[in-house]
Amino acid sequence: MTADNIQSLQQEGRTFEPPAAGRDTAYIKSLDEYRAIYKRSIEDPEGYWAERATDLLTWESPWDKVLEYDFNAPEIKWFAGGKLNAAYNCLDRHLTNGRRNKAAIIWQGEKDEDVRTYTYQMLHDEVCRFANVLKKMGVKKGDRVSLYLPMVPELVIAMLACARIGAPHSIVFAGFSAHSLRDRVNDCESKVIVVSDAVIRSGKTIPLKPNADEALKECPTIDKCIVLRHAGNDVEMQPGRDVWWHDVMADHDVEGDCPAESMDAEDVLFILYTSGSTGKPKGVYHTTGGYLTYAAHTSQIVFDLKDDDIHWCTADIGWITGHSYIVYGPLALGATSLMFESVPTYPAPDRFWQICSKFKVNVFYTAPTVIRSLMKSGPAWTQKHDLSSLRILGSVGEPINPEAWMWYHDHIGGSKLPIVDTWWQTETGGLMISPLPYATPLKPGSASLPLPGIDPAIVDMENKEVGPNQGGFLVIRKPWPGMLRGIWGAKDRFKQQYFAAFKGCYESGDGARRDEDGYFWIMGRVDDVINVSGHRMGTAEIESALVSHPTVAEAAVVGMPHDIKGQCIYAYVTLKAGYDESEELLKGLKLHVRKEIGPIAAPEVIQFAPGLPKTRSGKIMRRILRKIASDEVESLGDTSTLADPSVVNELIDGKKRLF
Ligand code: 6R9
C-alpha cells in the first residue's frame, strides 16, 4: 500500500443550503439536531443503537448484550442472543399495520407495458410459497442458496424466501461469467441455485442458463437448479437437477404459510462476493439483526422515506446497493420500492426520467457514471418529462465530480433538491458518510459528514490522524451494526484485509481528506482495486484472468481515468516467447477476460509490453504504469529503484503505437 496516489485534487468552494420545503416532516430537521444526535451516538453507542433497533424492527425476543467487539481478534457482535427474522420484518409485520394492500415492489421491465406490482400481502404469499419450495428440496437453516438472476421480482422473492428459512443467500450479478459463478458457488458450497433463461437488455435476449450449465459442471454441492422462465427462449433442462420455477411453485404442498425461522441476530443473512486487492473475490457476509437495523435506519434518516413515497434505487440487486436500498431497507420500513430491469439509455436516453415521471418517483438514487453518460446526451431529454415529484436525489459508487453534481442538481433537481452523496461499501452494509437531506449544507463532490454512530478518521501510514485538507487513509474507529462480520471461510484474510494495517480500526481501502468544516472528500481506492462505473474490480483478478490465456507470460492492470466510467481498465501484457503481437490477439485477450470474469472486467486498453517496471525485488511498480496509462509521464517520480529503468521509455513509446 502506498500513499502516493492520495491526492487532494478537488477544489470546490460552492455550498448549497438544504431546502426549507420538506424540513418540517424530516426525520432530522437541522444541522444542530444532527450534531446532537451524532454526539449522543458516539458517547453512548449502545444506548443509541438499542433504541434504533427497538424502534425500527420487530424482535421475537430481546438481545443479551447490545455490543461485544474486539477489532484485533477480530470479532464483532451486535444484539447477540436477540431473535428475529428479516423476512418477517420486511413482510409479515406490514400485514397488520395497515400496509397489507400497499405496493411493496413495483417492477418495470424493459418494455414500458411490462409492469408488475406486488402488494405486501402478495409478496408475503409468494415468499412463503418459494420458501416452502426450498424446504421441500431439503434446504435447511444455515444452507446456502445462490441466486443468479436479472432484475426481476422473483429475485426479491427468492432472497426473502431464503431469509425466511434462515438460508443465507449469495447473489451473483447476472453479468458475471460462468467461471465467476462457479467460483462463487463453490466457495460457499451452495445447495441450490436459482437462475433465469435469459437477461433482457437493450432489446436483446442474452441467454443466462447456458452460463449456469457450464458453471454447474464443476459445482459438486448443487443438488437442484431452479429455472425461471423470463424471456421465453429455449433452455436445455438437465433431468434430475433442473426444475422450472413455475412448476415447483404450482405444487399444492407448497401453498400456505411458511413459518419464519427464528434467527439469532448474529446468524448470517447473506453472503456477497466483492473484489479485494489480492486474490479471489471475497465472500463478505452480513448478519441478521445488525444489518437489518442499519439498512432500515439509514433508509430512514438519509432517504427520509415516508409512507406514500416511491423510492427508486437504480442499482442492480447483484450489488450491495440493491440489497440494502431496493430490498432490505425500504421493505423493513414498509415503503414502496421500484425496481427496473433495463438500462438508462434504451430505447432512448430519457428512460430514467420517463420512469420517474410515470411512477411519480420521490426518492431517486443512482450512480455518477449514469449521470455522466446522460449528461452527454444533453438536457433536452430531461425536459421532456415532469420530474416535479422528486424530493431527494442520491449518488453512490464513486466520487461524483462537481460538474456531474451540478448537472444533477440543476437538470434533475430543478436547482433546489438535496443531493445525498453517500459513501459506503459492500463491507459497511449501509451508508456511512452522507448528507442528511434537510439538515446538511451541501458541497458538490463531498460526501460531507459521518452518519450517527460512525466514527471515521483520516490517518497516515503510522495510524496518526492527519490535519485538515491533508490526504490520508480513511479508517473507522468504532463498530457499527451494519458492518461485515467476516469473509466466508477466511478468518485470517478478514483480519489481514481490514484490521491489520491500522490497529484498532477498520480499514476502508479508500483515501480521503477532511476539510476545515469536517467534510469528507473521498479520493478513491488506495489499494489495487479499480472502480469502473461504480463497480469494484480487483486488478489481481483481471491479471490472473489474463495470464490464464496460453499466450500471456505476465500481466499488470491499472486504472485509467475515463470520462464516463470514472475509471477504466488498462492492461499491460507481456507475451510468451514465440507469440506475436497482433490486433487479433488483442481482441482474443479481451474476449478471454469477458469469459473468465464477465464483460465488466474486459480491459478498455491492452498494451503489449516487452517488459514491466519492476523493483529489484521483483515487485511491479504500478504507480509508473498508472502514470503512463494516464499520460502523466512528466510526473513519473523516482524510477531509480527499478531493476531495469529502460523499460519505462519502451512503455511510453509503446503507448504511442497502440492498436
Ligand atoms: C456502495 C458501494 C465501494 C467503493 C468504496 C469507494 C467507492 C462508493 C462512494 C465511493 C466516493 C462515494 N465509493 N461510494 N467513493 N464517493 N459516494 O459502492 O459498494 O461496490 O463495495 O464499492 O466504492 O471507493 O470503497 P462497493
Helix H, strand E, coil C: the string for 522-548 is EEEECCCEEEECCEEEEHHHHHHHHHC
Cβ–ligand 1 distance for 421 under 6 Å, the answer yes
Give dist(CA 534, CA 129) in Å, integer. 35
Which tens digit of pLDDT belongs to each residue from 314-354?
Answer: 999 999 999 999 999 999 999 999 999 999 999 999 999 99
Residue 13, pLDDT above cutoff 90: no
Q: Is the CB of 398 under 6 A from ligand 1?
A: yes
Q: How far is the CA of 302 from the centre of ligand 1 (A)?
A: 16
> What is the percent of the chain where pLDDT is above 70?
98
The answer to whether 393 touches 420, Cβ cutoff 8 Å, is: yes
CB 514 within 8 A of CB 520: yes
Three cell numbers written together for 179: 467461471
Cα separation of 360 and 391, whole Å? 10
- Span from the CA of 367 to the centroid of ligand 1 (angstroms): 10
| Nearest atom, ligand 1, residue 319 CA | 20
Cell matching residue 280: 479471489
Distance 112 CA to ligand 1 centre (A): 31
State whether the beta carbon of 525 lies less than 6 angstroms from ligand 1: yes
Protein residue with least CA distance to atom 23, ligand 1: 397
Please determine, for residue 6, whether its predicted confidence score (pLDDT) is greater than 90: no
Ligand 1 atom nearest to 535, measured from its CA: 20
Query: Does ligand 1 have an atom closer than 6 angstroms to the CB of 190?
Result: no
More confident position, 280 or 176: 176
Taking residues 152-177, what's their average pLDDT? 98
- Average pLDDT in the 641-653 region? 88
Question: Are 120 and 95 spatial neighbours (Cβ–Cβ below 8 Å)?
Answer: yes
> Residue 640 above 90 pLDDT?
no
Distance 508 CA to ligand 1 centre (A): 10
pLDDT at 588 over 80: yes
Is the pLDDT confidence value at 4 over 60? no
Grid coordinates 477466511 are at which residue? 490
422 in contact with ligand 1, CB cutoff 6 A: yes
Q: What is the 3-state secondary structure (H, E, C) of 91-151?
A: CHHHHCCCCCCCEEEEEECCCCCCEEEEEHHHHHHHHHHHHHHHHHCCCCCCCCEEEECCC
- Average pLDDT (526-544) is 89
Helix (H) or strand (E) holding 212: helix 209-216
Identify the pLDDT of residue 11: 60
519 CB less than 6 Å from ligand 1?
Answer: no
User: Is the CB–ligand 1 distance for residue 397 below 6 Å?
Assistant: yes
Choose the residue to mutate in 282, 398, 473 for probing ligand 1, maximizing ligand atoms within 8 Å of C-beta.
Answer: 398
Q: Position 481: which residue type?
A: P
Identify the CA nearest to 520 among candidates 426, 419, 409, 442.
442
The pLDDT assigned to 477 comes to 98
Question: What angle is formed at CA 624 by the lines to CA 620 and CA 625, rounded to 5 degrees?
Answer: 75
How much distance in Å is there from the Cα of 423 to the middle of ligand 1?
6
pLDDT band at 645 (very low <50, low <70, confident <90, very high): confident
Which residue is associated with the grid cell 449528461?
375
pLDDT band for position 616 (cuts 50, 70, 90): confident
Instruction: Tell me the CA–centroid distance for residue 478 and ligand 1, in Å.
Output: 19
DSSP symbols for 380-419: HHHHTS--TT--EEEEESSPPPHHHHHHIIIIISTTTS-E
* Distance (Å) from CA 512 to ligand 1 centroid: 12
Q: Is 316 in the pocket of ligand 1 (CB under 6 A)?
A: no
First vs last Cα of the chain: how many Å apart? Answer: 32
Instruction: Please work out whether the CB of residue 539 comes within 6 Å of at least one atom of ligand 1.
Output: no
φ, ψ (nearest 5 deg) of residue 124: -55, -45
Q: Convert the pLDDT of each residue in 431-464 to its tens digit.
A: 999 999 999 999 999 999 999 999 999 999 999 9
**Cα–Cα distance for residue pair 570/49, rounded to 1 Å:** 44
Residue of the nearest CA to atom 19 in ligand 1?
425
C-alpha 469/C-alpha 259 separation (Å) is 53
Confidence of residue 622 (pLDDT cuts 50, 70, 90): confident
Edge-first strand listing for the sheet containing 392-396: 115-119, 103-108, 336-340, 310-313, 363-366, 392-396, 419-422
pLDDT-derived band of residue 619, with 50, 70 and 90 as boundaries?
confident
* Low-confidence winner among 221-225, 362-366, 416-420, 624-628 (lowest mean pLDDT): 624-628
Task: Give pLDDT, residue 208.
Answer: 98
Pocket-testing residue among 273, 277, 324, 424, ligand 1, by greatest number of atoms within 8 A of Cβ = 424
Look at 175-184, 262-271, 373-382 and tell me which has the smallest mean pLDDT.
373-382
Q: Is the pLDDT of residue 143 over 60?
A: yes
| Nine cell digits for residue 589 | 485477450
Query: Does residue 426 line the site of ligand 1, with CB under 6 A?
Result: yes
Ligand 1, atom 2, residue with closest C-alpha: 425
* Rounded average pLDDT over 543-562: 93
Mutation test residue for ligand 1: of 171, 275, 396, the one with most atoms within 8 Å of CB: 396
Residue 24 to residues 16, 20, 29, 574, Cα–Cα distance (Å): 19, 8, 7, 62
Tell whether ligand 1 has an atom less than 6 A from the beta carbon of residue 423.
yes
pLDDT exceeds 50 at position 1 = no
CB of 300 sitting under 6 A from ligand 1? no
Ligand 1 pocket mutation, candidates 9, 274, 536, 539, criterion most atoms within 8 A of CB = 536
State the distance from the centre of ligand 1 to the C-alpha of 424, rounded, in angstroms.
Answer: 5
32-46, 52-66, 227-241, 626-640, range with the lowest pLDDT: 626-640
pLDDT class for 9, splitting at 50, 70, 90?
very low
- Write the CA distances from 550 to 177, 225, 499, 578, 580, integer angstroms: 19, 33, 38, 11, 13
Strand 486-487 relative to strand 282-287, pairing: antiparallel
Which residue has its alpha carbon closest to ligand 1 atom 4?
Answer: 425
Instruction: Report CA(524)–ligand 1 centroid distance (Å).
Output: 8
Q: What is the pLDDT of residues 24-75, one digit of tens each?
A: 999 999 999 999 999 999 999 999 999 999 999 999 999 999 999 999 999 9
Which range (313-322, 421-430, 632-641) has the least confidence?
632-641
Per-residue pLDDT at 659: 67
Separation of 425 CA from ligand 1 center, angstroms? 5
CB 216 within 8 A of CB 184: no
What pLDDT score does 528 carry? 85
> Among 372, 522, 529, which residue has the most ligand 1 atoms within 8 Å of its CB, making it the best to mutate?
522
Cβ(536) to ligand 1 under 6 A? yes
Write down the mean pLDDT value for the chain: 95
Calculate how far, in angstroms, residue 1's C-alpha sits from the geometric centre of ligand 1. Answer: 18
Nearest CA to ligand 1 atom 22: 425
For ligand 1, whether the C-beta of 399 sits within 6 Å is yes
